[in-house]
Amino acid sequence: MFFSKKLQHTIWYLSNKLGPFAPLVAMVLLGLIILSLSRIGLVVWKFERVINTGRLMEILLQGVRVDLIQLGLMLLIPLLLAPIFAISKLFKIWQKFTYFWVIACIVLLVFLEASTPGFIMEYDVRPNRIFVEYLKYPKEILTMLWRGFKVDIFAGLSLTLFAIWSMRRFMQPWLETNKTWSNKKIWIIWPLLFLLTALVIRSSLGHRPANPALFAITQDSMVNSLILNSGYSVIYAAYSLQHESKSSQIYGKMNKADIFKLTGAQDSDIPTLKTLTPSVKRDKPLNLVIILQESLGATFVESLGGVPVTPNLEKLKSEGIWFTQLYATGTRSVRGIEAVITGFQPTPADSTVKLSLSQKNFFSIAALLAKQGYSTEFIYGGESHFDNMRGFFMGNGFQSIVDQKDYKNPIFLGSWGVSDEDLLNKTHEQLLAHHASGKPFFTLAFSSTNHAPFEFPDGRIELYEQPKSTDNNAVKYADYAMGEFFKKAKASAYWKDTIFLVVADHDIRVRGDTLVPIERFHIPGLILGADIQPNTITAVASQIDLPVTVLSLMGISAQHPMTGQDLSKIPENYLGRAMMQYNYNFAWMEQTGEVNGGSSNNVTVLREGKPAAFGVYDMQNKQLIETVAPANAKEIEQRALANSLMPTLLYTEQRYRLPQ
């Protein structure tokens, strides 16, 4: 059973001493048992990573503290109502209300804890803001879950239904209880209980109440999330999403003048405005096609240290400009879109693709090219409203969108839309039509095959592994589809007039036991087509450098607010930098020199409510090594802080746009 009769008897025996507050006390006791058992189970599952932190007991004890905060939050509403409804005349109403309230709260806790293992397997963290955001897209998410996570669904539903049945049995004695406290006693005891609950929720006598940052006691973000419970993690994520505009200040504050000085911006209408002088002078600028590959991290590219599942990309890299140290700015598709299409630096807030102030008059290369007479188009295999892509694109320079409804008789239809073959066949058709019109064009094609549950048509590739539906096989299929596309593109009239950028939005399942798993932000990037000469760029680069670089190679001369570096004309002795947002940690990495024959990069990690951490990232061994603060730590930290604050300043003041 969910609980034994002996346990039920013990809990009610302890609770009944508190009269009308008995069910609330029972909820706390039962909740502590459930959440503690869940945490212990997760710790056992991830024991190696937990024990490597050397803080096992602290993790378990701090977990109880978080559980008390969560249960305190669940007590608030009934406690606020108690002085009115727990009195004599309304006691029956109080009984029924608390009966259903306790059942609902415990069942919710069980449901979220039951969802946790599957979520950790996918995202290496407890349910968080991603869990909350995905609730906006029930059709896509339910389809994905049904096709790829049946075991998780049945296990979660079974536990949840069992919890409902068990809790009804558990709460039955409460409905049969008579009122034993006088109204006077209730009103005397209530303030004490309310004050105690408030103190438990605050969980601190310091200046600020407890929050998830307080429990980030290890270098491993996944282990830190185990200290939390999933209910608390989700509630805090939902709360944070309502306060995104101020979230960049979680690392500290800096006056505007210093932000501008440290980032090289100017206190003007558009602080980061620059004039792009193209590296290639052209009578007629080239067309641009960006193929944004879902979750194609360096982990899938053999020459970048990954598994050998991208043979076509490996062949194509010798024909264009290949980046060996390119890093994504985040872990979500919208963050990759933000960087590649707008050149905007990452923040702890959600991507500007989804924020309210950036839905129009926000800079994008589509808006810039549209002003120069280009037709601009977004092609996607799924439903373009997902993650607000359609709204953002149509408000910021894209003139047309092709999505799932526009494919007639697709080769394959999966949870996330049509296959990559369908996507790139459609892209080829559109490019032929655009070229025939004689008008310059910019097309963004966004793939979706490499996304759980990893569905693709049979008979296209020799599987890398069994079973079929794995990320390695999905990537190999996506690479096959891309290879077929480029065969057709090279034979087409538009090839000689078009530059292609192939880049990932992010790596898959970004996780690790360091503050920021930098090795999982490493992604491939390739520019080819037209008259692009083969070249390998080894400098550290960020996704935000790519839009500036391709515009320069196209021959575009224009003003823009992007802060990225034009890597088509790298200054002598240039050492790159990259910025990475990992949950609420921000990594600022600067290339410095050589370690063991490989590149070594200094890393500063800004953290919410904690001092900055410092380290060295060894590119050859793909390892972030924590170090003591260097002599110039304050200077580096201030530079990192300025670069984390600048984009939020530009966003909130709506100063990241094209000139009027």
User: How do residues 406-440 score in pLDDT, each as one tens digit?
Assistant: 999 999 999 999 999 999 999 999 999 999 999 99
pLDDT at 530: 96
Strand partners, 625: 616
Phi, psi of 457 (to 5 degrees): -70, 150
Residues 465 and 540 in one domain: yes
Looking at 242, 273, 305, the residue that finishes a domain is 242
Residues 156 and 182 in one domain: yes
CA dist 341 to 298, 335, 377, Å? 21, 10, 12
Residues 96 and 183 in one domain: yes
In-domain check, residue 254 = no
In terms of phi and psi (left: phi > 0; alpha: psi -120 to 50; beta: otherwise), the region of 519 is: alpha
**Structure tokens given for 176:** 């049969």
Average pLDDT value over all residues in the chain: 91
Residues 165 and 265 in one domain: no
- Residue-wise pLDDT for 515-554, tens only, equals 999 999 999 999 999 999 999 999 999 999 999 999 999 9
Per the CB < 8 A criterion, the answer to whether 85 and 98 are in contact is: no
**Higher pLDDT, residue 463 or 10:** 463
The set of residues, in sequence order, having a beta carbon less than 8 Å from that of 112 and lying 6+ positions away, is 127, 229, 230, 231, 234
Number of domains in the chain: 2
In-domain check, residue 487 = yes
- pLDDT of 139 over the 50 cut: yes
Q: Is the dihedral of CA 392, 394, 397, 400 positive or negative?
A: positive
Phi, psi of 515 (to 5 degrees): -55, -40
Residues 432 and 566 in one domain: yes
Nearest residue to 296 via CA among 281, 275, 272, 313:
313
Three-state DSSP at 352 gives: coil
- Residue-wise pLDDT for 624-660, tens only, equals 998 999 899 999 999 999 999 999 999 999 999 999 8
In-domain check, residue 575 = yes
In-domain check, residue 41 = yes
pLDDT at 140: 76
- pLDDT of 597 over the 50 cut: no
- pLDDT of 242 over the 80 cut: no
Residues 41 and 128 in one domain: yes
Q: At what angle do helices 420-437 and 471-490 cross, to 10 degrees?
A: 20
Strand partners, 444: 290, 378
Residues 237 and 313 in one domain: no
In angstroms, rounded to a whole number, what is the distance separating the alpha carbons of residues 333 and 148? Answer: 19
Q: What is the mean pLDDT of residues 261-267?
A: 94
- pLDDT of 10 over the 90 cut: no
Nearest residue to 499 via CA among 369, 312, 367:
369
Q: What is the mean pLDDT of residues 182-195?
A: 92
CATH (domain of 434): 3.40.720.10
> At 173, is the pLDDT very low, low, confident or very high (cuts 50, 70, 90)?
confident
DSSP per residue over 19-82, as a string? GGGHHHHHHHHHHHHHHHHHHHHHHHHTHHHHHHTT-HHHHHHHHHHHHHHHHHHHHHHHHHHH
Three-state DSSP at 237 gives: helix
- pLDDT of 306 over the 60 cut: yes
Q: What is the mean pLDDT of residues 64-83?
A: 96
- pLDDT of 373 over the 60 cut: yes
pLDDT at 572: 78
SS (H, E, C) 490-541: HCCCCHHHEEEEEEECCCCCCCCCCCCCHHHCEEEEEEEECCCCCEEECCCE
In-domain check, residue 659 = no
In-domain check, residue 658 = no
In-domain check, residue 113 = yes
* Element housing 614 (H / E): strand 610-618
Residues 620 and 472 in one domain: yes
Q: At what angle do helices 633-652 and 256-263 cross, to 10 degrees?
A: 110
pLDDT at 334: 95
In-domain check, residue 249 = no
pLDDT at 511: 85
Residues 555 and 608 in one domain: yes
Q: What percent of the chain has pLDDT over 90?
A: 72
- pLDDT of 26 over the 50 cut: yes
Residues 230 and 278 in one domain: no
Mode of pairing for the β-strands spanning 498-504 and 522-529 = antiparallel
Residues 199 and 341 in one domain: no
Residues 382 and 511 in one domain: yes
Phi, psi of 513 (to 5 degrees): -100, 20
Domain containing residue 476: 260-652
Looking at 214, 242, 270, the residue that finishes a domain is 242
The set of residues, in sequence order, having a beta carbon less than 8 Å from that of 49 and lying 6+ positions away, is 220, 222, 223, 513
**Higher pLDDT, residue 128 or 229:** 229
In angstroms, rounded to a whole number, what is the distance separating the alpha carbons of residues 479 and 499? Answer: 19
- Residue-wise pLDDT for 287-304, tens only, equals 999 999 999 999 999 999
pTM: 0.81
CA angle 547, 644, 594 (to 5 degrees): 75
Looking at 242, 276, 302, the residue that finishes a domain is 242
